[in-house]
Amino acid sequence: MNYRIFIKIVLVLSIGITISKTFAGNDKVKKLTEEEKIKLSYTFVDASRAKITNNLEEALKKYNECLTIDPANDAAMYEIAQIYVAKNKITEAIPYAKKAVELNPKNEWYLVLLGDIYKKNNQLNEVINAYKQLIKNYPQNTEYYFQIATIYTLAKKPNDALKTYDKIEQMTGLNPDVSAERERIYIAQNKVDKAINEVQKLITAFPNEPKYYGILAELYQANKQDDKALEMFNKILELDRNNSFVHLSLADHYRTNGDKEKSFNELKLAFANKYLDMETKLRIIASYALVTTSNPEMYKQAIELCKLLIEAHPTDSRAFTVFGEFLSQDQKYKEARDNYRIAITFEKKTFAVWAELLDTDFKLSDYESLLKDSDEGISLFPTQPLVYFCNGAAKSQSDKLQEAIDAYKTGLNLVVDDKRMEEQFYSNLGDAYFKIKNYKLSDESYEKALEIKPKDNYVLNNYAYYLSLRGEKLERAAAMSRLSNEIEPNSASYEDTYGWILYKQEKYADAKTWVLKAMDHGGTKNAVILEHLGDINFKLGDIQGAIEFWEKAKKGEGKPSEFLDKKLADKKLYE
């Protein structure tokens, strides 16, 4: 605004306020000289300019200067009160707002401000007095009646509130907002019949409006009048066959009354309705996730609802994502992955869905897909550590070990405040560095992983086993392996590792005891465990026993050592 125009407007306002006070017959108004009037006007302009530019301290100073010139200047008092409210200094605002009203009791905005200040200070009776004055001054303004009725309710004066609502209704006729407020008061007073009557009045006035039947149905339902509630729900369906929310209400009604079949049928009708918003449906389906793991019937229902969700919303990625989550919960990882793939065709940049997709690749041990999906994930989410972790894992499985290490190192540098993920990166780096025979970096990576999580049984076992293969730090290896077996007893892999460390320490009898434990706990077809038992038997002088287990290792699962064929050919131990 042009500054000259601004000055003129404020001058007019400030002079007008002073004149209005004089004509109001306030005998306390100081008679100002012409010089004081001019100084007051310009000081008021400076104060208002400071306020507009949010320089509140300067504005306060200038408005107070106005009061020094004219102690009964209600406009300055009003402005000071507003500034204190803006600064959340309610106690300081009260005397200024109160004095402004005393000086100019007909000013609407002074009274509104005073009422608001008292409300902020929880002085409800004073708020009521302010709005009584507003109603007296402006008896046709229904907004002030609504305001005072609300304050009466807050002040626990429901009867006064009801009388006020009666007054509003006299002024405006039947008013749905008034009826809603009266209904709430009657419910709070446990006057259910009066609350019902209030809603019935609305139904009489608006017989084709479904929402009033819905309100009445909920009232009946809350007060154990189930037959009447059902009557209202059916009335809604007569008026609006596509009302999806009434099906949700009916589902709740039948569930409360123990009729599970009807309840689920109504829920299906709601889910099949494409006009029922997705957020509501997702909230409902989320409630199933809490119980489906222990309740097969509920899982079956959840799957049925997911299919209806997809039929009603065939291009919404969330429908396919939630279906995938339930399928994954039931370990149907291939079907889950199919749904995640469809989801990302509709919404490609939702990372949470990509994370689920990569997880199913892992669970399916489909490292070819994991490599492809993580490569695309890196292009879409270049700052997400998880995609690099998956990419490294896929490359490691394809013996692209240096590329795997590069992916792990890039992802590790992106980890922020996630110690669990950081530890997993170090663990996998330890594995990868070992495979390329960089033992120094392998050991350093494992040690960093154990600094983060000293009792990670996977890291303890792998680190210990790789040390045993190298024949280095065997005491350290034995300690780590013992700890991994304490953390997770009866693990064939961990027991074999400890047995092999004992073998390397030339404790052959003890080694055999531990590798036999591994056999007892699922190692009977494991080529590595079988070969280890053959080697131990050879060291114990049981050559025939050694050959038998080497032959079993040849037919076993997994990858035995590079020396197995030579051992069998020469019937000798090679290491």
- 320 located within any domain: no
Q: Which domain holds residue 32?
A: 1-139
Give the pLDDT confidence score for residue 28 in this predicted structure. 52
Predicted local confidence at residue 44, as pLDDT = 95
Q: Which whole number is the average pLDDT over 391-410?
A: 96
What is the arithmetic mean of pLDDT over 556-563?
91
Is 14 a domain residue?
A: yes
| Spatial separation of the C-alpha atoms in residues 100 and 21, rounded to whole Å | 11
Task: Specify which residues 526 forms β-bridges with.
Answer: 557
pLDDT at residue 507, as a whole number: 95
* pLDDT (mean) for 426-432: 97
Contacts 24+ apart (CB under 8 A), 348-357: 348/380, 349/380, 349/381, 350/317, 350/321, 351/381, 351/384, 352/321, 353/317, 353/321, 354/380, 354/381, 354/387, 355/386, 356/321, 356/324, 356/325, 356/328
Tokens of 153: 């309710």
Please state the rounded mean pLDDT for residues 522-542: 94
Token couple for 72: 């009964």
Q: Report, as an integer, the average pLDDT of 398-411.
A: 96
Best mean pLDDT range from 200-209, 267-276, 402-411: 402-411
Given a cut of 80, is residue 26 above it in pLDDT? no
Give residue-wise pLDDT tens across range 282-341: 999 999 988 888 899 999 999 999 999 999 999 999 999 999 999 999 999 999 999 999
Q: Count up the domains in the chain and report the number.
A: 1
For residue 29, the model assigns a pLDDT of 60
Q: How many residues does the chain have?
A: 575
pLDDT band at 22 (very low <50, low <70, confident <90, very high): very low
**Position 398, amino acid:** S
What average pLDDT does this structure show over 468-489? 95
Mutual orientation of helices 439-452 and 419-435 as an angle, nearest 10°? Answer: 160
Q: What is the pLDDT of residue 517?
A: 95
Q: What's residue 275's pLDDT?
A: 87
**With helix as H, strand as E and coil as C, how does 321-342 read?**
HHHHHHHHHCCCHHHHHHHHHH
Sequence-ordered list of residues with C-beta below 8 angstroms from that of 497, at least 6 positions apart, any chain: 461, 464, 465, 468, 481, 484
| Residue 346 within a domain | no
Is this prediction's pTM over 0.75? no
pLDDT digits (tens, 9 = 90+) for 222-239: 888 888 888 888 888 888
- The SS3 of residue 96 is helix
With cut-offs at 50, 70 and 90, classify the pLDDT of residue 218. Answer: confident
* Per-residue confidence (pLDDT) for residue 453, from 0 to 100: 96
Orientation of helix 351-363 relative to helix 385-397, angle to 10°: 20
Q: Is residue 57 part of a domain?
A: yes
Q: State both tokens at 563.
A: 């020396």
Q: How large a percentage of the chain has pLDDT more than 70? A: 95
Rounded distance between C-alpha atoms, residue 479 and residue 84, angstroms? 69
pLDDT band at 41 (very low <50, low <70, confident <90, very high): very high
pLDDT at 534: 94
In this model, does residue 1 exceed pLDDT 60? no
How many angstroms separate the CA atoms of 407 and 58, rounded?
59
For residue 395, the model assigns a pLDDT of: 97
pLDDT in the model for residue 536: 95
- Kindly state whether residue 33 falls inside one of the protein's structural domains: yes
Higher local confidence (pLDDT), 407 or 221? 407
Least confident span in 23-37, 130-144, 246-260, 299-313: 23-37
- The CATH number assigned to the domain holding 14 equals 1.25.40.10
Decide if 552 is inside a domain: no
Digit-coded pLDDT (tens) for 95-120: 999 999 999 999 999 999 999 999 99
Q: Is residue 490 part of a domain?
A: no
Q: Which range, 7-16, 365-374, 556-565, has the best average confidence (pLDDT)?
A: 365-374
116 domain residue, yes or no: yes
pLDDT confidence band for 137 (50 / 70 / 90): very high
User: Which whole number is the average pLDDT over 66-71?
Assistant: 94
Q: Using CB atoms within 10 A of its CB, is residue 142 exposed (0-12), middle (13-18) or buried (19+)? A: middle
**What is the pLDDT at residue 210?**
85
